[in-house]
């Protein structure tokens, strides 16, 4: 037992050492650090609560007084009593549809190329690095791209500063998000699924279509949801490609004419216009519009997170 119990160890005696090891001293430092870390999380959550409470508090006059009217009025940054969000909601929905139609197929196709067709080729590596960099490009820079390419260069097709140019700009903006999340979903599909399909004679495309894409669908869907919520909350690039900020008169244009050659706005752009006005009236309008956008984005995000947790598969 006492093979090597030294009478002295360093400066302390054996008895002192034993006492130090066996004493039930609390880990005070550990506790303090843990509480500090917990506090950072608490502060972060508190910010979220403060944001929501503040918005509800400020938005109350509008929510309580003229919510129906607010939902059905157009963009008007000169008169808070007339200001509303219906054009903005319609604009955001139109933009979202364009993003879904343009960006999702393109992004998923790019991810399929990267993961299924050319995962180790030099071109694929270049594209992968490129996509990661695109994901970090500030959104306002995409606005410049949209202004030069979609508004000016392709103005004949998009009609200039229309919702189509805005939608295409947002599609390019969220493309890297779609590619990255879809790639991750495809990478999570085990090899054996592909080998099973190939083993019975399926071509590469048939393997992708009938086995890989269905298996990766929940993950891909989650990624597209996140991309969609990003697009719904983005204002900066739209300012550059012509999102209307002051007053949007649609006159007696038909819906189709409004889409093809009328001005457009969106929820974030409308919030920006209202936030720049002074006075408690406009604060209420801004807060109410922010609340609507926040609910929209959080619902899309929540759906994405729920989908991920619900359909997460461990192969």
Residues near other proteins (CB under 8 A), total: 95
Complex with other proteins: residue 165 or 300, whichever CB lies closer: 300
**Least distance (Å) between residue 308 CB and other proteins:** 9
Q: Which one, 249 or 254, has the nearer CB to other proteins?
A: 249
Q: Select from 17, 93, 124, 247 the one that contacts other proteins (CB under 8 A).
A: 124
The SS3 assignment for 31 reads helix
List the beta bridge partners of residue 264: 243
Q: Out of 127, 193, 247, 303, point to the residue binding other proteins (CB under 8 A).
A: 127
Q: Which residue has 């090891």 as its token pair?
A: 21
Please say whether the beta carbons of 71 and 86 come within 8 A.
yes
| Distance of closest approach, residue 203 Cβ to other proteins, in angstroms | 4
Handedness of CA 166, 169, 173, 179 (dihedral sign): positive
Q: Check residue 301 for interaction with other proteins (CB under 8 A).
A: yes
Say whether residue 36 binds other proteins (CB under 8 A).
yes
Instruction: Fill in the DSSP letter of residue 76.
Output: B
- Work out whether 102 is an interface residue with other proteins (CB under 8 A): no
Residue among 37 and 255 whose Cβ is closer to other proteins: 37
Q: Of the two residues 129 and 255, which places its CB atom closer to other proteins in the complex?
A: 129
Spatial contact of 24 and 260, defined as CB atoms under 8 Å apart: no
3-state SS assignment for residue 267: helix
Q: Does 48 bind other proteins (CB under 8 A)?
A: yes
Work out whether 112 is an interface residue with other proteins (CB under 8 A): yes
Per CB under 8 A, does 224 bind other proteins?
no
Q: How far is the CB of 13 from other proteins (least distance, A)?
A: 20
Site for other proteins in 229-268 (CB under 8 A): 229-230, 232-236, 239-240, 242-243, 245-246, 267-268
The burial class, CB within 10 Å (0-12 / 13-18 / 19+), for 116 is middle
Q: Which of residues 51-90 bind other proteins (CB under 8 A)?
A: 51, 54-55, 58
As to burial, measured by CB atoms within 10 angstroms (0-12 exposed, 13-18 middle, 19+ buried), residue 253 is middle
Both tokens assigned to 179 = 């590619």
In DSSP notation, 77-131 reads SS-TTT---HHHHHHHHHHHHHHHHHHHHHHHHHHHIIIII-TTSHHHHHHHHHH
Give CA–CA dist 215/131, Å, rounded. Answer: 23
Tokens 């993003």 found at: 99
Q: Out of 71, 126, 217, 255, name the contact with other proteins by CB under 8 A.
A: 126
Size of the chain, expressed as the number of residues it contains: 315
CB closer to other proteins out of 74 and 242: 242
Of the residues 17, 93, 100, 106, which one makes contact with other proteins according to CB under 8 A: 106
Residues 182-201 interacting with other proteins (rule: CB under 8 A): none
Q: Both tokens of residue 104?
A: 């999702």
- CB closer to other proteins, 74 vs 143: 143
């Amino acid at each position: 037992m006492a093979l090597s119990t030294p009478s002295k160890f360093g400066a302390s005696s054996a008895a002192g050492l034993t006492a130090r090891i066996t004493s039930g001293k609390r880990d005070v430092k550990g506790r303090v650090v843990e509480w500090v870390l917990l506090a950072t999380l608490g502060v972060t959550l508190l910010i979220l609560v403060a944001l929501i409470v503040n918005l509800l508090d400020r938005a109350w006059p509008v929510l309580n007084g003229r919510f129906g009217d607010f939902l059905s009025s157009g963009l008007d940054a000169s008169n808070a009593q007339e200001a509303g969000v219906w054009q903005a909601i319609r604009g955001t929905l139109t933009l979202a549809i364009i993003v879904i139609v343009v960006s999702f197929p393109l992004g998923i196709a790019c991810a399929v190329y990267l993961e299924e067709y050319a995962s180790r080729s030099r071109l694929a590596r270049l594209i992968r690095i490129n996509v990661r960099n695109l994901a970090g490009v500030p959104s306002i820079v995409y606005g410049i791209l949209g202004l030069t390419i979609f508004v000016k260069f392709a103005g004949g097709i998009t009609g200039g500063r229309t919702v189509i140019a805005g939608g295409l700009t947002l599609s390019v903006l969220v493309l890297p998000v779609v590619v990255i999340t879809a790639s991750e979903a495809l990478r999570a599909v085990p090899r054996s699924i592909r080998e099973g399909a190939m083993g019975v004679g399926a071509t590469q495309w048939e393997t992708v279509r009938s086995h890989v894409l269905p298996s990766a669908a929940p993950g891909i869907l989650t990624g597209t949801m996140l991309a969609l919520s990003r697009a719904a909350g983005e204002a900066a690039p739209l300012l550059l490609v012509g999102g209307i900020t002051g007053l949007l008169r649609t006159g007696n244009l038909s819906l189709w004419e409004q889409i093809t050659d009328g001005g457009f706005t969106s929820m974030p752009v409308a919030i920006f216009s209202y936030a720049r006005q002074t006075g408690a009236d406009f604060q209420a309008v801004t807060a109410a519009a922010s609340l609507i956008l926040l609910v929209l984005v959080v619902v899309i995000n929540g759906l994405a997170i729920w989908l991920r947790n619900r359909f997460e598969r461990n192969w």
